[in-house]
A and B are shown apart, each in its own frame.
Chain A
Amino acid sequence: MSSEIKADKWSPASGTSATIGDSGDTYTVPSGVTLNTSSATLTLPSTVITGQTEKTSLVDADKFLISDSAASGALKYVQKSNLPSGGLVHITSQAFPSANNFTIDNVFSSSYVNYFMMINMLNMTTDDTVDFVFVKSGTPDTSANYFITTSGRDQSSDVNDSGSSANFGRIFRNVDADTEAGASGTFHIYSPYAAYQRKHISGTTVTQRSTANNLTAIHTVSTYHNGTTQQFTGIKFQTNIGHNFRAGSVSGGYSSVSIYGVKNS
């Protein structure tokens, strides 16, 4: 070190502003030194955020800087794990195959209690009704423990279904085969994996029964109840009288299904 300035205070030689060094210079505040700007106005470069390396996947231990309104704006941090996070967590989106059945397994687990399912424009090769059964580790449960109610109306009449002690639940009632037709619906699946005897599915569906007309709106309710608890891991869709689904496309927005976990907080 060629020289050292020792002074109790720096002030501008004239006026109210002064400059430290020149462009390209680097001044280092060594370890152990406190640079206290707590009462000053500190202007940071606009690149203080965008100049950093981006992180694309947050983990619970990541931290955000905040001004604490309950502590006179004191700077504090919040961990990502403490951010409000309730909502839908996407689990999977799948296209229906050209088959009369489609199982999606290992989507229900202890991670979530309830689930949300959206079926988008499911087309059929021949008119049919779409049913479901729960699946437990690859094995469909076709026991006579399903109870069904569908209730709705098309352009001219009421359309309803009901069934007790059935071997399946119901998703869509009487879907027309025309390529311009199809069925869509949103469903809530309650406690499929919870160790509880009863499982429920409720949903609202729209079914187009004929080309370009005859829309049918149906509210679907299916319950499952068994004398013992069942922890189901998946769901199997099956047509009622064996006709195939039309093969779908997730990106194309038809004959596809998406399942989400409902995260409470």
Chain B
Amino acid sequence: MDKVVYNHLTGKTETTTLSADEQASIYIGFESLDKKREAYKLGLIKEIRLEKLMETDYYALQDVTMSNEMKTWRQSLRDLPANHTDEAAYDALLARDSDGNLTNSVWSKP
């Protein structure tokens, strides 16, 4: 990895290789950059999951009947972190088409 620094006093931009410490500073608080990336993607998945659950919360109102399919789907959303545990699985969940729509069927409401 490179470090790019523009110095306004000299007007020059220099590119040098990041030291080990500088590389480590990118993922402070995590075991590695890969682990930080996994946490980042899992965070995005949880945001989407929350959005999907909120969209269907009204089925849980007393005067509305929630179908078994809906119950199963909502539970599958809650189980996503337990059932998807690596970056490849996260990427599959976050995949979108060219219009920005999520493509993984797990997000499709029954």
Contact = CB atoms under 8 A, between A and B. Distances in A.
Interface string B43-54: 010010001001
A258 interface: no
A211 B28 CA distance: 31
Contacts of A240: 36, 40
Contact of A140 (B13, B25, B44): B25
Interface in A76-102: 91-92, 94, 97, 99-102
Contacts of A125: none
Contacts of A194: none
Interface residues of B, number: 31
Tell me which of B9, B29, B100 has the highest count of chain A C-beta atoms within 10 A of its own C-beta.
B100
A213 to B, nearest CB: 6
A210 B99 contact: yes
Nearest to A108: B8
A214 interface: yes
Given A99-B15, A240-B40, A241-B36, A213 B4 contact: no
Nearest to B2: A99
B36 A212 contact: no
Interface string B1-24: 111111111000101001000100
A210 B100 contact: yes
A149 interface: no
B15 A97 contact: yes
A211 B99 contact: yes
Contacts of A138: 5
Interface in B55-98: 96, 98
A216 to B, nearest CB: 12
Contact of B5 (A105, A167, A238): A105
A145 interface: no
Q: Report which residue of B8, B36, B99 has the largest number of chain A beta carbons within 10 angstroms of its beta carbon.
A: B8
23 contacts: A91-B8, A92-B8, A94-B6, A99-B3, A101-B1, A101-B3, A104-B6, A105-B5, A105-B7, A106-B8, A140-B25, A142-B25, A156-B51, A157-B54, A174-B44, A209-B100, A210-B101, A211-B98, A211-B100, A213-B100, A240-B36, A241-B40, A242-B27
Given A138-B5, A157-B54, A167-B29, 7 more contacts: A92-B8, A97-B4, A100-B26, A101-B3, A103-B6, A212-B100, A242-B26
Interface of B: 1-9, 13, 15, 18, 22, 25-29, 33, 36-37, 40, 44, 47, 51, 54, 96, 98-101
